Structure formats: C-alpha cells, structure tokens
Amino acid sequence: MVRTPPRTQPARTRIEDLRRGELIAAAHRVFMQHGLGGMTTKRICEEAGMSPGILSYYFKGKDDVLFAMVRMNNRLLVEDVLVRLNQSATRWDRLLAVIEGNFPAAVYERNVATAWLSVVAASPGNPRYARLQSLFYARMRSNLASAFAGILPPVRFAGMARTITTLVDGFWLQKSAGEPVSRDEAVTLIVTTVAALLTPDERAALQSR
Amino acid sequence: MVRTPPRTQPARTRIEDLRRGELIAAAHRVFMQHGLGGMTTKRICEEAGMSPGILSYYFKGKDDVLFAMVRMNNRLLVEDVLVRLNQSATRWDRLLAVIEGNFPAAVYERNVATAWLSVVAASPGNPRYARLQSLFYARMRSNLASAFAGILPPVRFAGMARTITTLVDGFWLQKSAGEPVSRDEAVTLIVTTVAALLTPDERAALQSR
DNA sequence: TAAATTATTGTATGTGCGTTCAAATAAATG
DNA sequence: CATTTATTTGAACGCACATACAATAATTTA
C-alpha cells in the first residue's frame, strides 16, 4: 500500500545527467581555450547554449563544475591506462603503457598543459584538488609497481618511480611553457633514462615474459 | 649659459627606486602568501604600508609590478649560479653548481613552487613572461654547456640538457603539488640520473681537472 | 620664508564576477 | 484539458577589483 514506484525518477535523472554532462563538456572547452582564470560561469553557459542562471540549478556553484570536470578527465585517463595494462604481456610493455598513458595522443598540447598546470597551482588552497592529486600519484606508483615488482628492491623502486613521475610532470610543465617537445620525444627520453638506470640483469628480467 | 646641472635628478631617482623596491618586495611577500590570484593591489600597498593609489604612481599598473617582481627574482637566481660557476674547478663542479642553483636553500618550498607555477601557467597569454621563460631555459642550457663542452656530441648534449631541465621543472611541480621531496633528494636524484646516462669515459672526463 | 615641485592619500568610478530569484515556459500527470 | 511539477530564463544584486584623480602633505628650490 505504501509502495510508490518512482516512475518519475528515471526521466528526471536522464535530463539532469544530460544537462550536467553538457555543462561539464562546455566547461572543458572554455577551460582549454581561456585557462582557469578565464573560465567564467557566463562563458560556460554561453558555450553550452544555455542561460547564465542554469549553472546554479544543476551545480552547487562554479567550483563544483570545475571539480566535476577535473574528475571526469582523470577518469578518462585512468581507464585508458587500465586498458593498455591488460593488453600488455611483458613487464616492459606494462612500463611503456604507464608512461605512454601520461601522454595521450592529441592531448599532449600546450593549452591542455596550461589548464592542467592551473589546477595544480590552485590545489594548495583546495582540499578536494589536493586529494585528487595525491590519488593520481599513488595510482601511478601502483601501476609502475606492477611492472617492477620482484625486480627492483623497494628503495630502488621508490627512486625509479620518483624519477619517472618527475619527468612526466616536467614534460607537461615544459609543454605549457611553450618548449617544443613532442609526445614521442618525451616517451623516448623517459624510456632511455629508465633503461640507463637499470643493470643489464634487471633490463633482461623486465623484457622477459 | 645653457648649462643646467640636473641636481634634482639623483634625489628624485633615489626615492623613486626606493619606493619601487619596497612595492616589489611587498608584492613578493603577498605573492608567496596568497598566490597569484590573491595578489591584489590593495593587499600589496597595505603590505608595503602605503595607500592604495600609490601603485599607479610608481608603476604602470598591477601587471607591471608583477613583471618587475618576476624579473628581480630571476636576476637573483642567475647571479647566484654565476658566482658558484666561477668558484668551480672541474666540469663536474660546474654541473653541480647549475643543478643546485635551481634549488636554492630555504627557497625550495611549497608556496614558492606554487607561486612560480602560477606564473608559468599565466605565461601563454603574456608575451613578456613567455620571453622571460625562454630566456631562462636558454641560460640554463648555456650554463650546462659550459660543463659538457667537448665531452658530449651536440645531439647527446641536447638530450642530456632536456633531461636535466625536465627533472628540475618536474621537481618544482611536485613540490607545489605537496609531494614530500627535499632539496637534497632532488639534487641527488638528478645527479644520479646524469651519471647513469654517461659512459665511464665521459664520467671520468667530467671529473678531471 | 615663499613658491614650486614632488610625493602621498583616500575616495570615486567603472567593470566583471558568481550567485540569487521571481517569473515564464515546458513537460508530466491525472 | 486542467493542474501540478520540472526546467529555463534573464534581470538584479552585492561584492571585489584595478585604476583614475582631485585634494593634501611633504620636500625642494630660489
């Protein structure tokens, strides 16, 4: 008798998710083109073809949209790496997958780098971002561990992981600064450096099945 | 008869330089504490113990102060490295001087890193910053060349310089992201990596007088 | 000391921002 | 179709900011 089938829920949710998705996508485009500072609510709604007030209806505020956007981008990157990891036979392939996963094709470009940098720079004042950041590093370390497990002792692995993550971050920063570095150059340089840091035995172990 | 000794010039210039210096120093402090976004003209003048309007009197505008500040900080870093370079006997010492010069004692810390990152993120829209940036990289490459000249062929030197600058940038980014890396860890890791990328012969050549 | 120049103040002005909200429209419901 | 509910609008508000500027104080000059 008290049964109240929420038939309205699905419909309402569908349009709500749709609008939220559109706004996030619009925010992404504005972010890429104008940077963090130029990402205004008015511009986002305009880009989405909606009225300025709509943002408050679907989000708590501007920061909420921004966070949702960062979260979504992160999810896409993570999924990409996971797919590659599952397709990798050798540890070396896994290593390559993790490294290349940080430079997605057609994404390693100046605007994106600057946008991402802006978020990092804004992190210290925003606990949610800070948390997202450290999760990012932790996940990358974990992925790298799946390649080096049983080959490098813990201390050396820590150093190796630090070197790789630092190089990745550095390449993104340089991209933002306008340095002419291609995706391939970045990946190649990192791989070369990793190889140089390994002993011949370790290299062999990494490349075997 | 037409002689007009500009006695007034020195006095006027002295106080002008003084005020400009004070404002730049205040801007620096505000920048470090509140980041680029929180660096408002009102706060700067307040920090300098002056009235809000004074800024327009000594500078063209807020951007002008910011640029002067970045310029000054850059100059300090450069001078520091030059002193160290002149005191270095071997090429290896010169290499160390350049690397350590990028992590000045008591300066490699989160606020500074974030501030510096904000400026880089703002560079793409500001030609003056962009120019300063590329000058920075060029100078670093030039300094590194003084260590590797005659030891590494051009192509390998280019790769080596890229590795080093990328690691430096990466360490600053990680510092801003809150990763717990000390100055010594950063320097050690970079030196280790450079050493691993060199052949025994090259290492020996670098360490000889 | 009187006059003129320079330095400093504090207020005023205009701009752009995020957010709110009553009203209008569209959709769903019975 | 009438009514309720969900969605969207666009104007309005308050706020913080950079900058301009007339008024005032201090300093230099003659």
Give tens-digit pLDDT for A155-198.
999 999 999 999 999 999 999 999 999 999 999 999 999 999 99
* Mutation target vs A (from B110, B135, B169; most A CBs, 10 A cutoff): B169
pLDDT at A107 over 60: yes
Share of chain A above pLDDT 90, in %: 73
Say how far apart CA B28 and CA A60 lie, in whole Å: 34
Which pLDDT value is given to residue A4? Answer: 35
**Angle (nearest 5°) at CA A204 between A203 and A207:** 90
CA of A193, C1' of C3: distance in angstroms? 74
pLDDT confidence bin for A47, thresholds 50/70/90: very high
Strand D, nucleotides covered by protein (CB < 7 Å): 6-12, 16-22, 27-29
Which pLDDT value is given to residue A13? Answer: 64
8 Å CB contact of B120 and A178: no
In chain A the domains, ranked by start, together with CATH numbers, are: 8-68 (1.10.10.60), 90-209 (no CATH)
Which pLDDT value is given to residue B5? Answer: 38
Closest chain B residue to the Cα of A171, Cα to Cα: B166
8 Å CB contact of B35 and A123: no
Say how far apart CA A204 and CA B166 lie, in whole Å: 27
Mean pLDDT for A44-53 is 96
* Mutation target vs A (from B108, B117, B155, B198; most A CBs, 10 A cutoff): B117
Which pLDDT value is given to residue B14? Answer: 81
**3-state SS assignment for residue A196:** helix
Nearest Cα of chain B lies from the Cα of A135 at a distance, in angstroms, of 11
Mean pLDDT for A21-32 is 96
Which pLDDT value is given to residue B13? Answer: 63
Which pLDDT value is given to residue A3? Answer: 35
pLDDT at A11 over 60: no
The protein residue nearest nucleotide C19, judged by CA to C1', is A56
Mean pLDDT for A35-51 is 95
CA of B38, C1' of C14: distance in angstroms? 21
Mean pLDDT for B172-187 is 96
Nearest Cα of chain A lies from the Cα of B45 at a distance, in angstroms, of 23
CA of B53, C1' of C13: distance in angstroms? 14
pLDDT at A2 over 80: no
Mean pLDDT for A34-38 is 88
pLDDT in tens, B34-73: 988 899 999 999 999 999 999 999 999 999 999 999 999 8
8 Å CB contact of A171 and B166: yes
Lowest mean pLDDT of A87-96, A154-163, B125-134, B148-157, name the range: B125-134
HSE-up (13 A, CA, CB side) for residue B102: 27
Look up residue B13 and give its amino acid: T
pLDDT in tens, A85-97: 999 999 999 999 9
Mean pLDDT for B25-41 is 93
C-alpha B174: how far from its chain's center? 17
In the structure encoding, which two tokens stand for residue B173, read together? 């980014």
Strand C, nucleotides covered by protein (CB < 7 Å): 5-12, 16-22, 28-29
